[in-house]
Amino acid sequence: MDETRRNLLKATAALLVDQWAGARLGALANEPSGGVGRKVVLVACGGIRREDTFAESGFHNIPHLYRDLLPQSAFFPFVRNAGVTSHYNTTSSIISGNWQRVDDWGKTPPQSPTLYEYLRKRMGLRQDQTWLISSNKALTSKIGASTARDFGPAYGANVIFPKQLLINAVVHAAAAGRAVHSTDRSTVQPEIEAMLNSDNYDGLGWSVSGEDSSLDKLTLGTMQQAIEDLVRTNAPATGDEFTFLVATEVLRRFAPSLLTITFSDMEVAHFGSYSLHMAGISTVDRLVYELWNQLQSLPAYKDKTTLFVLPEFGRDLDGSSTNGFFNHRQNTESTRVTWMMCLGDAVRKAQIIENPIEQTDICPSIARLFELKNLDLPGKAIPGLWL
């Protein structure tokens, strides 16, 4: 992405988070809360096959993950998704440590407590210390807290869908019969502004309740300028890029103890373009590398952060009746077995750990990183980490 474009997206991301911070009356990164030392960033990135990534046939798609990060990571080449291979169920299974079998479109929350709830309840963390920032429109804000007794929304995470903000703006402009033109500032821009000024964030997936969400005049003016510039640019937009930039703003301003990011550009595979699917994988490769570098540059994170990166699942086999890479619903190794990379604080030494693990092992492992004990979770701690 060209630098001008990136700066514009960055400015918009910053303003989005500014707005949130304004609503929250200034919980900023230089005022860390909860006395938590260790930090965890968990990145889940859509459906990616091993053969398109960590395999001879796929290394060229992930130069940063393979060349730059693998040599310093604990790498798990056999990570099983033994649950429902849909986005909502998989993500909520990872963050709750239990295989969730709820409505695929996020109508109901996870049925067992999430890491966010454990952290906030047991450690007394504020809501701004646990976040889920997602590109995926299959998720809803209900994923931030469970229906479990003694837990629930009071202990839930902040959940944001930055990409959905942009999509909604485009869709609303289209629905109103206004074509988006790179030089036409009167189209998408008002849609985005209207949404940012809306009192109801639910449509955007913002997990905000009760606060006044309107922008102050100064922020609004800057926002208008940023969005105007954003729409006037000609470089292709990627939703994951915007999600990444919002996530880095959240890291800078709130320094949360636990941040989950889900990327989804590669999910264009559902529409049958293999080249765009590959482009999505390349974007994630680059963004994860940039994220790791960001974490090393932020004092709140340097030397105390563990980064987990994994696909939610693979994709179906070529030649399957489910149409191969388009989908992710086959009960095969291609769909169920993925990989995971761990970097940073908890990594004992760079190594490849071939013992198979399950995605539900991630939650108890992260819980142990935070010294949360006696959780009723079926998974076991992941080997090769200081836990």
Partner 1 sequence: MMQTTTNGVGKIAQSDAATLAAYRKQVERLPVTMRPSLNQQLAAWDSLFPFEQRQASAFLNGLGSLEPSALDAMIQPLRTLEAKMGVEHWNFSQAGDTMENASMLARSQYYAEWRDEVQKIFEAVNAIARDSASTASKHPRLVLIVLPDSLPVDALNVWKPWDRRAQIFKIAGDSRRVSELLIQDHADQPGIGALLARQGSLESSDMWLIDADSKLNSIQSSTGGQSAFSLSYAVLKPFRDKFLAEVNTVPKNIEATDQTLNAMRHRNWEQWWPAELAGQDQLRHFVVDLFLSGNGALIFSNAFVEWAASEALRRARPRVIVARFGLRAKPKPFTGIAIFENQQQISALPDVDDPEGSAVDALMLARYIWLAVLRYPEQEQTFGLCISEHRNSAYLIAPEGTTLPWGPEHAVTPEELSAGIGRYLSTLAV
CA distances from 351 to 213, 221, 364 (A): 46, 50, 21
Tell me the residue type at 81.
Answer: N
Please give the size of the binding site for partner 1, defined by CB under 8 A: 55
Q: Which is nearer to partner 1, 146 or 257 (CB)?
A: 146
Part of the chain binding partner 1 (CB under 8 A), chosen from 124-132, 145-153, 267-275, 348-356: 267-275
Position of tokens 């630098």?
3
Nearest-approach distance from CB 353 to partner 1, in angstroms: 27
Determine, following the binding rule CB under 8 A, whether residue 84 of this chain makes contact with partner 1: yes
Determine, following the binding rule CB under 8 A, whether residue 147 of this chain makes contact with partner 1: no
Determine, following the binding rule CB under 8 A, whether residue 166 of this chain makes contact with partner 1: yes
CA 196 to chain centre: 21
Query: Among 1, 23, 235, 372, which residue sits at the site for partner 1 (rule: CB under 8 A)?
Result: 235
Residue 307 φ then ψ, to 5°: -105, 125
Measured at the CA of 342, the angle between CA 340 and CA 345, to 5 degrees, comes to: 165
Tell me the HSE value of 177 on the side-chain side, using a 13 A CA sphere: 0
Q: Which is nearer to partner 1, 130 or 238 (CB)?
A: 238
Query: Among 37, 63, 236, 299, which residue sits at the site for partner 1 (rule: CB under 8 A)?
Result: 236
Query: Among 39, 64, 142, 163, which residue sits at the site for partner 1 (rule: CB under 8 A)?
Result: 163
Query: What gap in Å lies between CA 101 and CA 90, rounded to an integer?
Result: 9
Nearest-approach distance from CB 208 to partner 1, in angstroms: 19
Residue 320: how many CB atoms within 10 A of its CB? Answer: 17
In the stretch 307-326, what mask flags binding to partner 1 with x, by CB under 8 A?
-----------xx-x-xxxx
Q: Please, what's the b/e burial string for 225-264 (b: 16 or more CB within 10 A of its CB; e: otherwise)?
A: ebbbbbbebeeebbbbbbbbbbbbbbbbbbbbbbbbbbbb
Query: Among 63, 272, 299, 378, which residue sits at the site for partner 1 (rule: CB under 8 A)?
Result: 272
Determine, following the binding rule CB under 8 A, whether residue 238 of this chain makes contact with partner 1: yes
- The answer to whether 42 and 260 have CB atoms below 8 angstroms apart is yes
Nearest to residue 291, comparing CAs of 77, 40, 38?
40
Nearest to residue 6, comparing CAs of 251, 287, 292?
287
Nearest-approach distance from CB 215 to partner 1, in angstroms: 22
Determine, following the binding rule CB under 8 A, whether residue 237 of this chain makes contact with partner 1: yes
Determine, following the binding rule CB under 8 A, whether residue 170 of this chain makes contact with partner 1: yes
- The answer to whether 167 and 137 have CB atoms below 8 angstroms apart is yes
- The answer to whether 281 and 53 have CB atoms below 8 angstroms apart is yes
Part of the chain binding partner 1 (CB under 8 A), chosen from 14-22, 32-40, 167-175, 289-297: 167-175
Query: In this structure, what token pair is assigned to residue 212?
Result: 């006044």
- The answer to whether 114 and 180 have CB atoms below 8 angstroms apart is no
Nearest to residue 260, comparing CAs of 373, 387, 110?
110
Query: Among 60, 107, 302, 348, which residue sits at the site for partner 1 (rule: CB under 8 A)?
Result: 107
Determine, following the binding rule CB under 8 A, whether residue 174 of this chain makes contact with partner 1: yes
Using DSSP, state whether 336 is helix, strand or coil: helix
Query: Among 86, 96, 305, 334, which residue sits at the site for partner 1 (rule: CB under 8 A)?
Result: 86
Query: Among 230, 245, 250, 382, which residue sits at the site for partner 1 (rule: CB under 8 A)?
Result: 230
Part of the chain binding partner 1 (CB under 8 A), chosen from 35-43, 228-236, 306-314, 363-371: 228-236
Query: In this structure, what token pair is assigned to residue 303?
Result: 């030397």
Determine, following the binding rule CB under 8 A, whether residue 30 of this chain makes contact with partner 1: no
Position of tokens 């960590």?
54
Determine, following the binding rule CB under 8 A, whether residue 245 of this chain makes contact with partner 1: no
Nearest-approach distance from CB 183 to partner 1, in angstroms: 9
Determine, following the binding rule CB under 8 A, whether residue 223 of this chain makes contact with partner 1: no
Determine, following the binding rule CB under 8 A, whether residue 181 of this chain makes contact with partner 1: yes
Q: Quick one: 150 exposed, middle or buried, by C-beta within 10 A (0-12, 13-18, 19+)?
A: exposed
Part of the chain binding partner 1 (CB under 8 A), chosen from 111-119, 212-220, 275-283, 361-369: 275-283
Q: Which is nearer to partner 1, 166 or 309 (CB)?
A: 166
- The site for partner 1 (CB under 8 A) is made up of 57, 84, 86, 89, 99, 101-107, 140, 163, 166-167, 170-171, 173-174, 179-182, 184, 188, 230-231, 233-239, 242, 268, 270-276, 278, 318-319, 321, 323-327, 329, 331
